[in-house]
Amino acid sequence: MPPEQFFEAMYLKHSESMLRVAISMVRDYSLAEEIVNETFLVLWMHIHRVMKHDNPTRWLYIVLRRNAIDEVRKNKKRAEVPLNEAISKSTNADFFAFPDLLPTALSDEDKQLLIWRYERGMGYDEMARCLSISDAACRMRVKRARERCAQLLHSQQKNDAI
Amino acid sequence: MKKYNGQEIADNQSDMALSLEELEQLSPESREAFSVLDQICTSKSEEETEAILESYLASVQGDPIQKQISFDAQASLEKFRSLAANIKF
């Protein structure tokens, strides 16, 4: 069987179950979707090896578990600076514009994504169209921008406390 | 994109278990899901893997978060292909 066909068969057979297991683990639909996407990217990178594996389903779920554990650990770190809370405070602020409250060290590209998403309330589909990328790629970019923003806010908070 | 050592991915899981402290911070549903994943990861055959999975998925059908899922595998595969096309390996 050609690798593309094997991959497609694995995706069609397992993606929904993997999403259901991932959502049980992380309790967040978008995050679960990202974990499943990352798992299939890893599958594609190692497709020839997995094709020879005696239990490809188990292989997939091992990678899924690993990705979920990574996310749980990242979330634990992010929880120290709850970004939603920071964003909600910033959008309710009377005297500061939302962009001014984003960390200065955040790249212009990341700021733009967060402004579109959280200040203007743009949907992923609309943002994806503006950027000429897929909806899924857009979600991933926003997720990464959020993570970088959270890390910078966390460092900023630590520096402020010193 | 994470870097994976090919051999490490599926064969060496000892460094990737959640600690007791980490598990305690999870919801009971998350803990159960991780526990099922642990069973899947040590299953001995494809049949055993699928049986564990099937039984678990049947048991969580009533979970409200599961009811949010409306999934079209074919459409999702197309979305995944677009996503993969935007990622440089």
SS (H, E, C) chain A: CCHHHHHHHHHHHHHHHHHHHHHHHHCCHHHHHHHHHHHHHHHHHCHHHHHCCCCHHHHHHHHHHHHHHHHHHHHHHHCCCCHHHHHHHHHHCCCCCHHHHCCCCCCHHHHHHHHHHHHCCCCHHHHHHHHCCCHHHHHHHHHHHHHHHHHHHHHHHHHHHC
Are A4 and A51 in contact by the 8 Å Cβ rule? The answer is no
pLDDT of A7 > 50? The answer is yes
Nearest to B82 among A15, A27, A137 (CB): A137
CA of B65 vs chain A CAs: smallest distance (Å): 7
- Determine the average pLDDT of the residues in A27-52: 88
- For residue B37 the two structure tokens come to 């994943």
Bigger pLDDT: A110 or B16?
Answer: A110
Q: Are B40 and A37 within 8 A, CB to CB?
A: no
Q: Could you give the CA distance from residue A62 to residue A59 in angstroms, rounded to a whole number?
A: 5
- pLDDT surpasses 70 at A90: no
Q: Summarize pLDDT for A46-81 with one digit per residue, the tens.
A: 888 999 998 999 999 999 999 899 888 877 665 555
What CA–CA distances, in Å, run from B30 to B2, B34, B37, B42, B62?
Answer: 23, 6, 10, 19, 15
- pTM of the full predicted structure? 0.62
Residue B74 distance to chain A (closest CA, Å): 7
Which residue in A19, A27, A58 is closest to B69 by CB distance? Answer: A19
Q: Taking CB atoms and an 8 Å limit, are A41 and B87 in contact across chains?
A: yes
Q: Which residues of chain B have pLDDT under 50?
A: 1-15, 88-89
Q: How many CB pairs lie under 8 A apart between chains A and B?
A: 144
How far is A15 from chain B, CA to nearest CA, in Å? 7
The pLDDT score that the predictor gives to residue A78 is 58
pLDDT for A95 beyond 50: no
Which pLDDT does position A36 carry in this prediction? 92
ipTM score of complex: 0.80
